[in-house]
Structure 1
Amino acid sequence: MKTAVIVFPGSNRDRDMFHALELITGTRPLSVWHTETTLPDVDLVIVPGGFSYGDYLRSGAIAARSPILKDMIARANAGVSILGVCNGFQILTEAGLLPGALMRNAGLNFVCKEVLLETVNNTTRFSNAFAKGQVWRCPVAHHDGNYFADADTLKAIEDNGQVVFRYANGTNPNGSIHDIAGIINEKGNVLGMMPHPENLVEPLQGGTDGRALFESLISALETA
């Protein structure tokens, strides 16, 4: 699986993502600086976590206007897999690739801890290696992870099966509506999630629960 990671000023989980992808796929991802205008020919584009542009204005708002986003949006519309984690999720909503918005955490504090996630929809290219209803561990680290959508949008994404992951067992760290931790677009090729699966992919990190997300993508590509 060929992958590319877009890097912005303030990205701080890009190297974590490089490590996870190389460990699982056996191939080093390509790094794409945000001022580039064309992405390489890859199977997966990742927008990593961090604090792009220092989270000024709104988290992800400035990054969503970067030159590379025009081509990333075109790739998304063409069906290429796009994964946004944490700040990447914020950027995807700001760019209009995913519905809703990420607001300040309910407690107005930065949260860095481990949570539990429930796999609500395991039929996507990002979640097929999980069992439906499977509860798994995953780290979070964010200040603006409180997912919100208006009533009509919320009903639509719930009815369409676009909620892929929820915070489970009372571990919602930010007040996200309906405990939403990760959603997918209608086409099923763009996923945004606040937790960091790349930080739990090998025993040295304390567990391997996050590997299934990346293994899902490999499986989906092999069977496409």
Structure 2
Amino acid sequence: MSELSYASPLAGLAQPPDLAISIREIPDRGMIDLRGLATDPAFMSAVQDVLGVALPIAPRTSVSWGDIKVLWLSIDQWLILSTRTKAHELLAHLKAALAGIHSLAVDVSDMRAVIRLEGDGIREILMKGTSLDLLAPEYKPGCCRRMRYAEIAALLHVVEDEVFDIYVFRSYAHYTWSFLSATARESAKVKLFGAQDLGD
């Protein structure tokens, strides 16, 4: 019997030349979509026992424990991140722990592509495709939120001050990569009005 294999939507693509920042795909990202009631102590406790960390309940926040990250998506939905191989094990443990508890856990690792942006000026570059003010204080490391990016649905995760991950449905991976390849070019670099050097 043949084995299932994963094919990255951006396989074979290298970073375009002349970019002001670094962009690359993270193909080994395992993802579990978790649904449940944050008001249910049994649900929250069972998940914490498996993950080793409590689910974040504050909007647009995330938590980490080792190589596991959990992103808040809504009042009853979280995205659990790990390596692709570990996601299968985590899912099995979650389903066992949540048996009999109103909840849903599904492996969605193949649903999205993850593109990582690194470098100075990534906020300005990203703002070319979204109406969000990514210079606002709320967009600090750990922040995550859904957004419209270049007219498509996307998920943004601020990993560090100059490291951002964008999650898009895999059918839009090439489109997103092409959009970033154009807007992140060194020749397209912009500075905000208040941050420009006016000289002498």
User: Greater helix percent: which structure?
Assistant: 1
User: Greater strand percent: which structure?
Assistant: 2
Bigger relative CO (Cα 8 Å, ≥ 6 apart): 2
Structure whose alpha-carbon radius of gyration is higher: 2
Q: Fold conserved (TM > 0.5)?
A: no
* TM-score (normalizing by structure 1): 0.26
